Amino acid sequence: MKNQSMIDACLDCFAACEYCATECIKMADENHLRCISLCRDCADICAQCVKFDSRSSEFSKQLMQLCAAICNACADECEKFAKEHDHCRECAEACRKCAEECMAY
């Protein structure tokens, strides 16, 4: 596929965000509420990007730009907890990679 590196980055980010959100929910710590919310948003838009690209939507580029913005916001939030939690560090890394790929779309 033409955009395989973007699709791979979105799928990796989707999985990392879902896992991070789940682990943060398990902690039941109010300090992680924004992290959970952003991870959920990020996972959803990453999945949507794959769908839009797969069907060659005329709105793919605009969606990728929004995805990059959400990925960067999620990475910023997860990085606050990255030293204490591997799932947050891994999520931030996946989000940065996804943002980079989406901006290059």
pLDDT in tens, 38-50: 999 999 999 999 9
Percent of the chain past pLDDT 90, that is, above it, reads 96
| Residue 1: per-residue pLDDT | 53
**pLDDT, average across residues 44-69:** 96
Helices (H), 55-103: 60-79, 86-103
Residue 57 zone, left/alpha/beta (φ > 0; ψ -120 to 50; rest): beta
Confidence of residue 32 (pLDDT cuts 50, 70, 90): very high
d(CA 37, CA 11): 18
| Residue 52: per-residue pLDDT | 96
**pLDDT, average across residues 89-100:** 98
| Residue 37: per-residue pLDDT | 98
Length of the chain: 105
The 10 Å Cβ neighbour count of residue 58 is: 8
The yes-or-no verdict on residue 93 having pLDDT over 70 is: yes
**pLDDT, average across residues 5-21:** 97
| Residue 100: per-residue pLDDT | 97
